[in-house]
Structure 1
Amino acid sequence: MMTYALLVSGVLQNLGIAAIAALFYDIVLRSCPTPSVRHTLVAIVFGAGAVGSMMLPVEVAPGIIFDLRNAFVILAMTFGGWLAVAVTTLAAFTYRLWLGGAGALPGGVGILVCASAGIAFALYFKGRRTGLVSFALLGVFCAGSLVSMFLLPFETAMGILKNVGPVMLVMNILGTMIVGGIVDRQKRQFERESVLTQEASTDSLTRLANRRAFDLRGPDLMETANQQGDACALMLIDIDHFKQINDAHGHDVGDKVLQHLAVLVRSNVRKTDLVARYGGEEIALVLPSHDVKRAFSLGERLRKAIAGTPYRHEGKLDVTLSVSIGLYANDGATESEAFTTVFKRADMALYRAKKAGRNRVEIALAA
């Protein structure tokens, strides 16, 4: 049998693996462009962490090893979802059986026990705040996987648990607390930064992008379309006689009208299109892959949808709306113009729509 000192030393080495895995987890959160890619890479990080931990095992008895694989398995669902727990469990289970030895079967069963406990924990705490106390509780369940030792002959299991069981119990709990605490801190920091970034680029009233976000992203979207030889359009939508709505019904109704308009516009375009509240009652859009025909068709659809969907305030007041739309479109074949020039062309088209009687779409073709 081994000494406590060797067990503690082995656990400390495993915590180094955990720290590296946590670092990669943070990198994945911050660098992945889409949730699907993020979930896949988080699953790989947790699976690699479990296997990496098993590559630095502590042999507590011939053929029986201890490491922190179960901490990764039991935390995978909380921080990575179903894909992460599936990948981590499969990787850890397969690698433990491949290592073999007298403890292969108990080790595999322990992994499955931890996966089940981790799933139950994640489902129970979904939407609730977790912390070191909850991770300590999870560590108790992680340590509970030691009961799988009794798949060995009773005398062997009792000998192992009597010799190093208390330390293994404590190290399972501490390992889960430490790994969970580090990863949870990184996750919360990322979520806080994401919220701040979202708030900085979102109009608080309509929940559309704000002018700052439009000025930053709009030129990039149009430039990318031009480099790919793809069509792109810029559209400006302005509510007709909006001041009269505010004067007649109050600014609170005016705000609701803007929210109503934002919902109508957002529901008629693609998620990939940039939609922003550019000024008071003006909404600006950048529409990749829209040539003049497609953009005009969208403008007409929006105009008709808005005119045909009055805003109903508190179930008793119908506010009929109409909009004027100015449109710039580039077919992708002509040389691109500066974004500021493009915006001015669309704005001039919007002015012509207003002057021509409102409730219409006017086009400014690329030069």
Structure 2
Amino acid sequence: MEISFLIPAFLQGVGVVALVSISYDVLLHHRSAGWLRSVLVALIFTLAVLGTMANPVAFGDGVFFDLRHVLLVLAAPFGGLPAALVTGVAACVYRLWIGGAGAAAGVAGILISVSLGALTLTYLRLQRPSFKRSILVGLMPSVSLLSLGLLPFEMIGGVLKAVAAPMVIGNFIGAIVVLTLLERRKSQAERETELQVFAHSDKLTGLPNRLKFETAASLLIGNALAQERQVALLVMDIDHFKQVNDTFGHAAGDVILADVARVLKREMRDGDLVARYGGEEFVALIPVDSEAEAHVAAERICKSVSRSRHEVRGVKLTVTISIGVQLIDGTEFSLHELMEFADGALYSAKAHGRNRVELAVAA
């Protein structure tokens, strides 16, 4: 059979691949739960494989050519083992339903491709794009030709002569096209996610930054007030931080900031919010039921930081923080005004000896 007979199947496969690429891109940008994303990826690959199998090029009784093996090989690297398993099972069931003399060989070929994708899952995910990797992926779908050994003996020679070269070429080109499209979509989505993370988090400490804090504050406060609770606004500042920078250098100061951030994060409960507000200043929002609870929480954080030890250039250091607390029990003040009240309490804590908690005077 001339290779021109395979062109319609190949072009149809390219169309399916384009739809897979677009669907995969939409899915990557959708903020869905992990399990839901796995289900949707499995659905995308399953429908794509069945789509390519629906209109194949026939070589005889139950012997077909399509680009199913390209998608079967890549289902695991891009969708995970669950997606590969679901896609493989669906393809096997459909192939058995079609029937014909090549049914057993078809199922075997599907299992070979799915297994290859699963076995090379870690390699394909960890390896950076390269010529060697592309060649490997291009050749993998054609390993399914081994399944032709299950055809009736009188058919094997004719089928191999007709399909071997065109199938290897078609699968090779198809695999590289699919790999390139999916990786491009995935890389773009990862870059966009990374940019969003950087836009809302502090690179040094990993905590939310001022922008993220101010964006999330209104929702947290609103939810707490709706539940008839109060919110403790804590403004925290590392004591004598300038001396650390002047004595040990700014790199040492960065170590202290990162260490203190880890302590603060550890002290937060589910539903609390802590962020680096700027310089050596941190802020937190903690839903509470009383002023006493707010004071206890702030004292716990203050003591936890003072008990922590930090090593800078071989020297063990202890740092403390001062905390100003403003209790939020209504919506009459803006976040900016509330911050000013808490700042006033912070300055009072500094003036009264540092390493202490001060509650803001009722506004």
Mean CA deviation greater in 180-189 or 38-47: 38-47
User: How far off is 1:202 after superposition?
Assistant: 3.1
1:173 corresponds in structure 2 to: 172
Identity %: 39
Is residue 258 of structure 1 aligned with residue 254 of structure 2? no
2:356 corresponds in structure 1 to: 360
1:106-255 residue pairs with structure 2 within 5 A? 106-131=105-130, 133-223=132-222, 226=225, 232-255=231-254
1:308 corresponds in structure 2 to: 307
Find the residue that maps to 1:283 and give its secondary structure. Answer: strand
Mean CA deviation greater in 338-347 or 234-243: 338-347
2-side partners of 1:236 and 1:201: how far apart?
A: 19
1:96 corresponds in structure 2 to: 95
Mean CA deviation greater in 218-227 or 253-262: 218-227
Distance of aligned partners of 1:217 and 1:131 in 2 relative to their CA distance in 1, 3 Å threshold? farther
How many equivalent pairs are there?
Answer: 362
Where in structure 1 are there 5+ consecutive unaligned residues?
A: none
Distance of aligned partners of 1:362 and 1:134 in 2 relative to their CA distance in 1, 3 Å threshold? same
2-side partners of 1:337 and 1:54: how far apart?
A: 64
Amino acid across the alignment from 1:319: L
User: How far off is 1:259 after superposition?
Assistant: 1.6
Distance of aligned partners of 1:39 and 1:255 in 2 relative to their CA distance in 1, 3 Å threshold? same
1-side partners of 2:96 and 2:73: how far apart?
A: 18
Q: Structure 1-normalised TM-score?
A: 0.87
Q: Deviations over 1:154-183 (max 9, x none)?
A: 221221221232111211111111111100
User: How far off is 1:319 after superposition?
Assistant: 1.9
2-side partners of 1:296 and 1:53: how far apart?
A: 65
- Contact conserved, 2:239 with 2:354, CA < 8 A, in 1? yes
Q: Deviations over 1:292-317 (max 9, x none)?
A: 465544323221111111222234x2
1:44 corresponds in structure 2 to: 43
1:53 corresponds in structure 2 to: 52
1-side partners of 2:184 and 2:174: how far apart?
A: 15
1:347 corresponds in structure 2 to: 343
1:331-342 residue pairs with structure 2 within 5 A? 334-335=330-331, 337-342=333-338
Mean CA deviation greater in 184-193 or 18-27: 184-193
1-side partners of 2:96 and 2:288: how far apart?
A: 56
User: How far off is 1:56 after superposition?
Assistant: 2.9
2-side partners of 1:228 and 1:257: how far apart?
A: 37
1-side partners of 2:361 and 2:32: how far apart?
A: 34
1:320 corresponds in structure 2 to: 318
Find the residue that maps to 2:343 and give its secondary structure. Answer: helix
Q: Deviations over 1:65-96 (max 9, x none)?
A: 22222211111221122222222222222222
Distance of aligned partners of 1:323 and 1:69 in 2 relative to their CA distance in 1, 3 Å threshold? same
CA RMSD of aligned residues (A): 2.8
1-side partners of 2:225 and 2:56: how far apart?
A: 55
- Contact conserved, 1:240 with 1:322, CA < 8 A, in 2? yes
Mean CA deviation greater in 86-95 or 245-254: 245-254
User: How far off is 1:347 after superposition?
Assistant: 2.5
- Contact conserved, 1:291 with 1:329, CA < 8 A, in 2? no
2:9 corresponds in structure 1 to: 10
Mean CA deviation greater in 3-12 or 230-239: 230-239
Find the residue that maps to 2:129 and give its secondary structure. Answer: coil
User: How far off is 1:265 after superposition?
Assistant: 1.4
Where in structure 2 are there 5+ consecutive unaligned residues?
A: none
Distance of aligned partners of 1:232 and 1:99 in 2 relative to their CA distance in 1, 3 Å threshold? farther
2-side partners of 1:224 and 1:6: how far apart?
A: 64
1:69 corresponds in structure 2 to: 68
Distance of aligned partners of 1:248 and 1:128 in 2 relative to their CA distance in 1, 3 Å threshold? same
2-side partners of 1:37 and 1:366: how far apart?
A: 47
Find the residue that maps to 1:7 and give its secondary structure. Answer: helix
Distance of aligned partners of 1:124 and 1:248 in 2 relative to their CA distance in 1, 3 Å threshold? closer
Mean CA deviation greater in 220-229 or 169-178: 220-229
